[in-house]
Structure 1
Amino acid sequence: MESLIRGDARRVSESFLILLAGVAAGALNAIGGGGTFVALPALVAAGMPPVMANAVSRIALAPGAVASVWVYRRELTPVGATSTKALTAVSVIGSGVGAGLVLVLPGASFDAASPWLLAFATATLAFGRHVSRALSSALGRSIRMSSRAVLLAQFFLAVYGGYFGGAVGILTVALWSIGLALDTAASNPMRVTQLAAIFLTSSVLFLIASDALSAPLALAAMVVGAVAGGFAGAYLARRFPAWLLRGVLLATAVTTTVLYFLRG
């Protein structure tokens, strides 16, 4: 009897911690990205196998991203001259390809590249606009990615997001920052929208092909937390001045990059 009580208490404690991790992850994704780096370790620490934890975190964070999109729905602006419908369609297709790769490729190869992708994204966020201005000054003309280049780059980002998902939002902002000189705060609503498209698409496949539903308590706890965090984070981000939002995003990028290299 005592062992059953201890077991129940442990499960309640784990569910509460997963709920809190969901809140933090949903808020991070709404503000600047990096929510996966909170959600995934929390699920693994609760005893979930890494592959299953990857699927559960993706499914759970999708509703949180949708909640953030709802908050931002009147503030969406196009990414340069690229059609929003075309950008979202590319995100959906790329995410589907990436999620499909989970079923046929070993995770070790892509996981090994993740720290370097994050380091590139962090450096781009920190120095991208300065580099872009310097190149424009040297060439005597503005540097802007064409719509076709934006869509192609978004496809590969979505493949990455569908396969692994970690910091895909950070990578997206880095791309738009250096390629289109977009303001971090102004582009955040569209970044969250593309994140939601990527997570929702991969979630459909993971619901069908993974064993994520075999952990309903953990999944439910993280979904509830992520939705709450997604709402709260989006409302908070809307009140941040541009410099503060960029600072939070850079701090998140640096922290997650360092942690990921240490983990490897």
Structure 2
Amino acid sequence: MLTLLLIVSAFFAGVLNAVAGGGSFLTFPALVLAGVPPLNANATSTVAVSPGALASAYGYRRELGRITEIDLPVFLGVSLVGGLLGALLLLWTPERLFEAIVPWLLLFATVLFAFGPKISTWVRQNFHVGHGAVLVAQFLIAIYGGYFGGGIGILILATLGVFGLTDLHAMNGLKALVSGCLNAVAVVAFVVGGAVYWTEGLIMLVAAMAGGYAGASVARRIPPPILRKFVILVGVVMTVYFFIEKA
């Protein structure tokens, strides 16, 4: 029964990540419900969903070639360093402390996912900053991504929008590339640190890849706003659940 829970949650996480994002709202709680400690569940969830982002980035390879406003190697390098630092920070966090802050991380990620587009629009309309400030912002976002990662796509898109990028397809491609790479470097840290539950992780990885492949056809049938509302609902339910468990 628990294996079925992992497969189903990872499959639909792959679908969501391919269409609207927010797959970690499914994989992380499913692992915790399956008995994986929260810190290990976060690391294992990252292993399960990271290949999908890189696959999406490959699909956007032509759009990525159109980006001229930003130094892509530097932007990617900053993201990799930040993602590694975030992953190491997670490994250095005592299990009990991480369990205490999980509800707050879920709450932040849920609010970010729910209001991210509006926040991103407001920021683009009211701010325009230089390349250095964008790199600093991306470095901090990458640390958060390596540590937990919920809603990181919204943060990356907002940062790119503030810098002045307007090609949404290119921005989505860069978002997928950056999140995939920083997740990959986080995975390396988690593997070296022994934080991954491999049996659960490999089961979910295969299911998430299948879900990501199916996501293309799902996108043609279900409007993304409906999927976003579903992700938000799951995030709210899981946040309430973990706050109750903490109490």
Instruction: Return the TM-score normalized by structure 2.
Output: 0.80
Tell me the amino acid that sits aligned with residue 133 of structure 2: A
Tell me the amino acid that sits aligned with residue 53 of structure 1: A
Q: Which residue of 1 aligns with 2:229?
A: 251
The partner residue of 1:231 within 208, 213, 219 is 213
Residues 32, 170 of structure 1: 8 Å contact kept: no
Instruction: Sort the Cα spacing of 1:129 and 1:34 in 2 relative to 1 into closer, same or farther, 3 A.
Output: same
Q: Which residue of 1 aligns with 2:181?
A: 197
Aligned mates of 2:214, 2:160 — CA distance in 1: 25
Aligned mates of 2:154, 2:230 — CA distance in 1: 9
Q: Which residue of 2 aligns with 1:61?
A: 49
Aligned mates of 2:208, 2:137 — CA distance in 1: 28
Q: Which residue of 2 aligns with 1:84?
A: 72
Q: Deviations over 1:91-139 (max 9, x none)?
A: 1100000011012233234753552364256434125425643x4xxxx
Q: Which ranges in structure 2 are unaligned for 5 or more consecutive residues?
A: none
Radius of gyration: which is bigger? 1
The partner residue of 2:203 within 199, 203, 221 is 221
Aligned mates of 1:191, 1:261 — CA distance in 2: 25
CA-CA distance at 1:58 after TM superposition: 0.9
Q: Which residue of 2 aligns with 1:21?
A: 9
Aligned mates of 1:161, 1:23 — CA distance in 2: 21
Tell me the amino acid that sits aligned with residue 60 of structure 2: Y
Q: Which ranges in structure 1 are unaligned for 5 or more consecutive residues?
A: 1-12, 136-142
Q: Deviations over 1:181-207 (max 9, x none)?
A: 646555222211111011101000111
The partner residue of 2:139 within 147, 155, 176 is 155
Tell me the amino acid that sits aligned with residue 38 of structure 2: P
Q: Which residue of 2 aligns with 1:52?
A: 40
Instruction: Work out whether 1:40 is the aligned partner of 2:40.
Output: no
CA-CA distance at 1:89 after TM superposition: 1.1
Q: Which residue of 1 aligns with 2:164?
A: 180
Residues 68, 231 of structure 1: 8 Å contact kept: no
Residues 69, 165 of structure 2: 8 Å contact kept: no
Tell me the amino acid that sits aligned with residue 164 of structure 2: L
Aligned mates of 1:111, 1:129 — CA distance in 2: 27
Q: Deviations over 1:145-201 (max 9, x none)?
A: 322122111111110011112221232223334553646555222211111011101
Q: Which residue of 2 aligns with 1:123?
A: 115
Tell me the amino acid that sits aligned with residue 258 of structure 1: V
What percent identity do the matched residue pairs reach? 33
Tell me the amino acid that sits aligned with residue 191 of structure 1: K
Tell me the amino acid that sits aligned with residue 50 of structure 2: A
Residues 54, 164 of structure 1: 8 Å contact kept: yes
CA-CA distance at 1:230 after TM superposition: 2.6
Q: Deviations over 1:32-90 (max 9, x none)?
A: 32111100111111222212211111111112222222333333256672122222111
Instruction: Sort the Cα spacing of 1:111 and 1:82 in 2 relative to 1 into closer, same or farther, 3 A.
Output: farther
Q: Which residue of 2 aligns with 1:74?
A: 62
Instruction: Return the TM-score normalized by structure 1.
Output: 0.76
Aligned mates of 1:67, 1:168 — CA distance in 2: 17
- Stretch deviating more after TM superposition (72-81 or 151-160): 72-81
Aligned mates of 1:120, 1:164 — CA distance in 2: 13
Tell me the amino acid that sits aligned with residue 62 of structure 1: S
